[in-house]
Amino acid sequence: MDKFSAFLISFLCFFLSLFLSDADLTGNSSDPGLASSFHSLCAQLIEPNGYFCSEHTVQTKDGYLLALQRVSSRSGDLRVQQGHPVLLQHGLFMAGDAWFLDSTEQSLGFILADQGFDVWVGNVRGTRWSHGHVSLLETDKEFWEWSWQELALYDLAEMLRYIHTVTSSKVFIVGHSQGTIMSLAALTQSDVVEMVEAAALLSPISYLEHVSAPLVLRMVAVHLDQMVLALGLHQLNFRSDVLVNLVESLCDGQVDCNDFLSSITGKNCCFNITRMNFYLDYEPHPSSVKNLRHLFQMIRQGTFSQYDYGILKNLVTYGKFKPPAFDLNSIPKSLPLWMSYGGNDALADITDVQHTLEELSSRPELLYLENYGHIDFLLSIKANRDIYDHMIRFFRSLEKPNFDTGNLTLSLVSDVEANRFDRGGKLG
């Protein structure tokens, strides 16, 4: 029996036992202390390292309450900033903690703060740092009725709007993985572009037609996303009792967990495997089944489009048989873009990156690292000099004189004033 057959059998057996035993599908953790221990990102990972950090809440148009953190260097002050605002946007099954999981010399969030940037940390709907919804509970099916399309057009757009209003400045975006999908989709919207100074994309994705990750391809081939929906799941939470047990069973003689990550992301050259237990204290975060299905649609169809509901619902939703594509050519040529991609990345394949470049009207600055896999761009022990130094030089070249790092510049709106904003991001 091959590994994937074992995976499917384990998957089906667990859900059969689930329905026979009335087990919990709501995403409740097997660790009863989880909810209380993850009370805020600032308190958990940032302030213990000596950095100034404040928590902010942003409400999206469809009622989700997102967490934003604002971070300043150990020698700085949240009301006095030396550099441009930068929004860090995480990837799939991650949240804002992903930018702070290694040492202060290796983690991009700390590095940017030490370089004097005004660092803002995004957390999309459904992640543990964010704050739910104005009327829906996480146990409601409707709470999980979204994909990366909503993350781009609602979550990212609203976070940018909040930062732009608070700082009175255009924003640098840094995205990784799904964070780049969100960024590229959002940047096709003119109202979003007006708030963005430049974007730096790590493992950039808009097309997924040439994904080579073997486990991902097998899941797509057997329509695992549809199987999960048929079983009544709408949330994907790998900290739930059911999915924790499933992963443990896969690692119990059926799948080599040392290769498990590589089978999904590609071989990572510089990932610090000795810190895996620490990473797993924070990752993974929940996402929606609809989001996974949207990603699988991209792989099957080779498109960068809105969610495909099928012909009839597409007609009702979009007024056409097929969902509209996100037009990368509409991203202004004048918007500076920087991209870094790797030869061992099984998700952001070189061929698909090239497809993205051909669709863009601009010529992004590129950094290619032949031995880098998908996770290396976030957690490589050498990323500081291999990637982040290049990215920071790119940002420095675009800074306006009033953001000269040699002179402290008072933020036009202080954090005290920012806290006057209501949850909708409007002045109260």
Which residue among 147, 177, 206, 380 is the active-site one? 177
Q: Among this protein's residues, is 31 annotated catalytic?
A: no
Distances in whole angstroms, Cα of residue 357 to Cα of each of 175, 205, 337? 16, 11, 11
Contacts of residues 365-369 at CB distance under 8 Å and 24 or more positions apart, as own/partner, are 365/336, 365/337, 365/338, 365/339, 365/394, 366/338, 366/339, 366/340, 366/341, 367/338, 367/339, 367/340, 367/341, 368/340, 368/341, 368/342, 368/343, 369/340, 369/341, 369/342, 369/343
Distances in whole angstroms, Cα of residue 311 to Cα of each of 226, 308, 317, 320? 17, 8, 10, 8
Q: Among this protein's residues, is 225 annotated catalytic?
A: no
Please say whether the dihedral angle defined by the alpha carbons of residues 366, 371, 374 and 376, taken in this order, is positive or negative.
negative
Closest by Cα among 400, 424, 328 to 168:
400
CB 321 within 8 A of CB 311: yes
Distances in whole angstroms, Cα of residue 51 to Cα of each of 87, 264, 286, 327, 350? 17, 34, 27, 40, 37
Closest by Cα among 333, 29, 82 to 193:
333
CB 92 within 8 A of CB 287: yes
Q: Decide the pairing of beta strands 171-176 and 85-89.
A: parallel
CB 92 within 8 A of CB 186: no
Instruction: State which amino acid sits at residue 220.
Output: V
With 0-12 / 13-18 / 19 or more C-beta atoms within 10 angstroms meaning exposed / middle / buried, residue 190 is: exposed
Q: Among this protein's residues, is 287 annotated catalytic?
A: no
Which residues touch 357 (CB under 8 Å, ≥6 apart)? 364, 366
Which residue among 56, 84, 90, 374 is the active-site one? 374
Instruction: State which amino acid sits at residue 10.
Output: S
Question: Rg of the chain's alpha carbons, rounded to an integer?
Answer: 21
DSSP-derived secondary structure for 107-138: -HHHHHHHTT-EEEEE--TTSTTS--BSS--T
Which residue among 345, 349, 352, 376 is the active-site one? 345
- Kindly list the catalytic residues: 177, 345, 374
